[in-house]
Structure formats: C-alpha cells, structure tokens
Structure 1
Amino acid sequence: MEIRQLKTFLVTAQLLNFNRAAEILNYAQSTVSSQIRGLEQELGVPLFDRLGKRIALTEAGKKMVRYARKITDMETETLAEVSEHLEPAGSISIRIPQSLGTHILPGVLNTFKKQYPRVNLNTDTCSYESLKQELRSGIIDVAFLLLDEINEPDLKSEVLGFVNLIFICANDNPFAGQMDISLKELSQQTLILPKYDCHYKVPFAQNLTEQNIKPLSILEINSIETIKACVKLDVGVTIIPEFAIQKDLSNGKYAQFQLKEGPMETAVLLLRHKNKWQSQYLKTFIAEVRNHFSKHT
C-alpha cells in the first residue's frame, strides 16, 4: 500500500468519477483505475461498486476513506514536525455528540486556529458502539461522551465537567411548566431521543425499562435541530442537555417540565488512548477544550 494510491483513492472517493479524478491528479484514467485496482487487490475487498458509468463507495470503501485520510494526514504531520522550515500541519480526528460540538467547538476553534491555521479538524457524531475500537485503532485521536463513566483499562478518561439534563415540550403540551411529573406519566407521551448524542439517554431508558414504563412511542432522530423542531410542534417530548436549549427556553420557544424524582445530570468525558502519541497541536486543542469548560461550567 503506497501513499500515492491512498491519495488517488481519496480524490476518486470524493469525486466518484475515475475520469475527473484523473484530470485533477494529472494522471491517465488507466493509471487511476490501476492504482485503485491494486489497492483493492491488496485489501481483498472492492472499494467501489461499478454501476455502469457510475461508481459508488462500498461499505469497505467508506471505512477506507477514514483510514486513508489519517495516513495521508500523518505524512503531512511528519513533514511538518521533522522540518524546521514548515509551519505545523496535520489533522485532528474527533468524535463528539452533536449538541456538545455545537456548544464548545466554535469557541475552542476560534482560539486554536489562530495558533495552528494549517491543522485540519475532522469531526464525526458519536457512535458509542464503534467508539472504543476507533480510539484503539488510532483512527480517531480524541472522543467526547455525555456519560458518567467508562471503564476501559487502555482508555484514559477525564471528567471535563457536568451538565444538567432537562425535559422540554411544546408550550401547549399538558406537561408544560409542571414540576412533579412522574415517570409513569411519560406513557402518555411520544418520547423523542437523539440517535447518536452519546450516551446520556441510556440510563434514562434503562430506568423506564426497569419500571416497565412504555412511552406512547419512541422516535430516535439523528439531528438535535430536528428533535427541537418536532418538540415545538408537539410531536413529542425530549430530554436534552440544558446548554443545547437554554437560549430557546429563555426566548419562550419551548416549555420545561421536571420529574418528581428530581433533576438529572451527566458528566462530560474526554477520552483518548493512554498510549497514543500526542502532537503539540493535539495537546493544545485538548488544553483549549479544558479551558473552555473551566470558564463555562
């Protein structure tokens, strides 16, 4: 496997067209096809489905995009680290819940990019099921979870702070403004939960199961903004980090209600592999995240 093959693969994966990739790379189309075919033979799986004149990434191809980016970024990073004449460059790959990313990344990056303008940032939503393996494989550098704890001996976990979890509903929902709603009363409502907003919903869902409480229905949606829009139209109610809804609550767009069991909160965890080497810019990024939480929690 050669760097040039990976670069050719990435351009082709972005354009989904061998001819256009050849034009961009200044290669003959046959060269692009040959490099991709050689990569597929070495890996033992097809990276593209050939659909007549069209191509599409296979599941293996989609996975390969992330690894190829990491490898080519490491080449850039190595050149920048070793050479005294190059400005620091490379990439940081993170997994972060959508609500948390919206809350912290703009402020963190406003400072970080002034120090490291040539460092790329690749973010993805938080799929808890694959998170641990991706940290171990090195495909991601750092991850964030909305979860109280995680016990994995090879992963280093750091509590950045704590956030309140609150229930919201439409202003004309019968629960609006109520501070003593029982868990059993949730059986009267459709419950809207984030699909990938790692992992605070799990203890709450387990609590419902243990008490044999079944909401009217459960909708899992992968967009916080879509969840908020559904709640506003009284499609259902949701539980959400307070920071993700605080401004809208202040503006009267939603109503809040509280369970008689009391308020809920979750920790914000920063995760990384304990043996992973950290570049100076990764250390700086993590320091900026810590600084943000020290000021805002």
Structure 2
Amino acid sequence: MTLLQMRYFLAVCRCQNITHAATELHIAQSTLSQSMQALEDETGLNLFLRAGRTIVISQAGQQLAQKLARLLQQVDQVEGEIRDMAMRHNKVRIAIPQQQASYLLPYLLSEFQQQHPEIQLDITEPYGLEAARLVRDEKVDLAVINSDDSSLPDVHYRRLASRPICFVVWEDHPLAGRTSMTLEEAAGMPVAMLSEGFYVTRVVLRTMHQRGLTPNVRYFSPHLSTLYSLMRHHVLPAILFERSLAEMPGLVTIPFTEGLKLTGALLTKKNRQSSKDQRLVMKFILEKLSAIPSQE
C-alpha cells in the first residue's frame, strides 16, 4: 500500500463518490477506480458497499480509514519538519558584538546578501563572552569576537588579524594632529569608554592597572552610538578598537605607542560539521577581516 493509495482511499471515504473524489484529486475516474480495486485486492478487505453511483464505506473500510488518517497525519508532520529543516539549512545564525558588527554588518547585509539572496542571516549583537557561550550552546552557528583566548571550552578558535586600540578625538580637537600617544597621557585625560563587559575596555583597564595608572573615565556606555554622539558633539574623547570606527566621518584615531591591540577571532563549535551556507559566510567574513592588513 503506497502513500498515494492511502490518500486516494481517504478522499473516496470523504466524498463517498468516485467521480467527486477523482475531481477533488485531479485524476481520471478510471485511475481512481483501478487504484481502489487494487487496494481491496492487496488488503483482502471489502472496503466499499456499492449501490449504483453511491459508495458506502464498509465497517472494515471505516476502521482502515481511521488508521490511515492517523498514519498520514504523522507523515504530514514529518514532512513539515523536514521542510522546516531545509529552511533552517538556508539560515546562518551569527553572533557579532558591536565593535565587529559596526564594520561587518554593512558588508554582510548588502554585498553578501546580494551575492547569496537564498541565505537568510540571523544576526545578534551580544557581548564577546556571551557570543562564545552562544556558539558553545549551539544557539548560533558562528561568532566573530575580539579575544586572544584560544582556550575557550568546546569552541574552535580561528585567529584573525590584530587591529590597534586607539585614543579617538574629533577633527578639530587639540590632539587631532598627533600620530601617537602614551597610555600615561591618555590616563590623564577625561574619556568615555564602552562598558566593562567589552573586551576592549577590559584590556585597556588591565594594561593601565599593570602600569599603575588610573584612567579618568567620565562615562561608561554599553552602546557605540552613544560614544559616537559624545565625540561628534565634542563632549569627550574615547578609547576604542580602531576597526569599530570604520567609515565614521569626522573622527581621528591616535594609536598608543605601547602598541595596544585587539585580536579578532572566528568561533565555531568544536566537532560540529559546518553546512555549505555557513562555510560561505565564514569565507566572506575571513576575506573582509583580512582586507585591511594586520597591524603586527
């Protein structure tokens, strides 16, 4: 008994008329009649009681119809789940914290999507350590973070280029003409920084602490946009990862003489096979983050 025969049989039971059932199924009446005769022969059951053009479903036919209805419901559910799996196969879940997202998202949502419109990108912007946890828990397929910690548990770490951490001012700031500055100089100036959950802030604070310095941080913010606004309105300079400032007009980056840098990393789950779509996204990200030479 095939699935097609089962569906034909249930249509006949529903319509109780071969002609009407054939019309509903968009097949020839003779084809449906032959299929029902073959079903009776195969099962050895008298499924129909015929009276002219009217068909009455026998007791055995009613019992079979109930069983087949339950079975086909399960089949339909499995087919739906398979379709959902196929749709998810074309979805790539990415975690990109704000600093990397400010650089990567314009490329992913324009250039990559134009090249691969069939791939749906599901992007979140968590903190770096939260992004690593999402990869480990398989809630995202990959993450792009700033971290030099390659020992993250259950996570495959692929090192990307290093980029400098900079003192950032606006164009007519008194320091705008500087090509570099020391951490000691930066510690003596009022600045804004991202919240301490951000890796760049932890690196700067840790390095200054090791040197016996206490930075004059007037404001910590969880949002890059807030720091941009403070600088555009000439309120406070900031200390930020250089790549997060890509394409931001009116700002000047001043690297530290100590060579303070952040190392990017592409994270995936260990021992987990990447799909073709995921590999395409990773290849694109690797190309974009390697487009600007490593500052090492």
CA contact (8 A) 1:97 1:197 kept: no
Relative to structure 1, the CA distance from residue 287 to residue 176 in structure 2 (aligned partners, 3 Å threshold; closer, same or farther) is closer
Which moves more between the two structures, 152-161 or 129-138?
129-138
Q: Give, in angstroms, the shift of residue 180 of structure 1.
A: 5.8
SS state at 1:263 partner:
coil
Letter in 1 for 2:156: K
Look up the equivalent residue of 1:269 and give its one-letter code: A
Equivalent residue letter for 1:219: Y
1:79 corresponds, among 74, 78, 83, to 83
- Would you say 1:190 and 2:194 are equivalent positions? no
Alignment of 1:231-270 (within 5 A): 231-245=231-245, 247-248=247-248, 253-259=250-256, 261-270=257-266
Q: d(CA) in 1 for partners of 2:157 and 2:81?
A: 25
User: Is the 1:164–1:264 Cα contact (8 Å) retained in structure 2?
Assistant: yes
Counterpart of 1:92?
Answer: 92
Q: Contact between 1:126 and 1:198, CA under 8 Å: does it hold in 2?
A: no
Shift of the 237–116 alpha-carbon distance from structure 1 to 2, 3 Å rule, reads same
Q: Check if 1:279 corresponds to 2:283.
A: no
Q: Which amino acid aligns with 2:273?
A: W
Letter in 2 for 1:273: K
CA distance in 1, matches of 2:81, 2:275: 9
* Paired position in structure 2 for 1:123: 123
- Alpha-carbon shift at residue 274 of structure 1 (Å): 1.0
Query: Within 5 Å, which residues of 2 pair with 1:168-247?
Result: 168-179=168-179, 181-195=181-195, 198-245=198-245, 247=247
Change (3 A) 1:194 1:264: same
Taking structure 1 as reference, are residues 99 and 77 closer, same or farther at Cα in structure 2, changes over 3 Å only?
farther
Q: Could you tell me how far 1:291 is from its partner in structure 2?
A: 2.5
Aligned to 1:48: none
Contact 2:103 2:246 in 1 (8 A): no
Q: Would the aligned equivalents of 1:125 and 1:196 in 2 still touch at CA under 8 Å?
A: no
Q: 283, 288, 291: which is aligned to 2:287?
A: 291
Structure exhibiting the larger radius of gyration computed from Cα positions? 2
Higher deviation after alignment, 107-116 or 198-207: 107-116
Provide structure 1 residue ranges, at least 5 long, that are not aligned to the other structure: 1-74
Q: CA deviation at 1:173?
A: 4.1
Matches of 1:172 and 1:294 in 2, distance apart? 31
1:161 equivalenced with 2:161 (yes/no): yes
Whole-Å separation in 2 of the counterparts to 1:146 and 1:180: 22
How much does 1:163 deviate?
Answer: 2.0
State the SS of the aligned residue for 1:135.
helix
Deviations 1:124-151 (A, max 9, x none): 2232343333222111111111223331
CA change 1:215–1:174 in 2 (3 A) is farther
Q: Distance in 2 between matches of 1:144 and 1:238?
A: 23
Structure 1 stretch 177-186 or stretch 267-276: which is displaced more?
177-186
Give the 3-state SS of the residue equivalent to 2:263 in structure 1: strand
Residue 200 of structure 1 aligns to a residue whose secondary structure is helix
Report the number of matched residues: 215
Distance 1:165 1:76 in 2: 49
Q: Report the AA paired with residue 289 of structure 2.
A: F
Give the fraction of aligned pairs with identical amino acids, expressed as a percent.
18
| Aligned-pair CA distance for 1:246 | 5.0
- Residue 234 of structure 2: SS of its match in structure 1? coil
Structure 1 ranges of 4+ moved more than 6 A: none
Over 3 Å counting, the alpha-carbon distance change for 1:89 and 1:272 in structure 2 is closer
- Measured on the aligned residues, the alpha-carbon RMSD in Å equals 3.1
**In structure 2, do the counterparts of structure 1 residues 163 and 180 end up closer, same or farther at CA, with 3 Å as the change threshold?**
closer
Does the C-alpha gap of structure 1 residues 245 and 157 become closer, same or farther in structure 2, counting only changes over 3 Å?
same
The Cα offsets for residues 37-74 of structure 1, whole Å up to 9 and x where unpaired, read as xxxxxxxxxxxxxxxxxxxxxxxxxxxxxxxxxxxxxx
| Residues 247 and 154 of structure 1: CA distance in aligned 2, closer, same or farther (over 3 Å) | closer
After TM superposition, give the deviation of residue 206 of structure 1 in Å. 0.2
Distance 2:160 2:245 in 1: 20
**Match of 2:124, as an amino acid?**
D
